[in-house]
Amino acid sequence: MQLVLFDSAEVRTALLPLTYTRPVADLRVGSLTIAEKWAGNWSARSAT
């Protein structure tokens, strides 16, 4: 299964300046990215 993550405009602007250079899913929370955490929870690979 493939997990597709996308950024909404509201979330992207709320996380500025962090999201100027990368998608929200590529931000690190601890040692993993948000995409890696979601992929692990769903036993899927991320397609950001």
Q: What is the pLDDT of residues 12-33, one digit of tens each?
A: 999 999 999 999 999 999 999 9
Residues 12, 19: contact at Cβ < 8 Å?
Answer: yes
Indicate the number of domains in the chain.
1
| CA separation for the pair 44, 12 (Å, rounded) | 24
pLDDT for 46: 63
pLDDT for 6: 84
Domain of 20, in residue numbers? 2-46
Q: pTM score > 0.75 for this model? A: no
- 48 has pLDDT over 80: no
With H, G, I as helix, E, B as strand and everything else as coil, classify residue 3. strand
- 34 has pLDDT over 70: yes
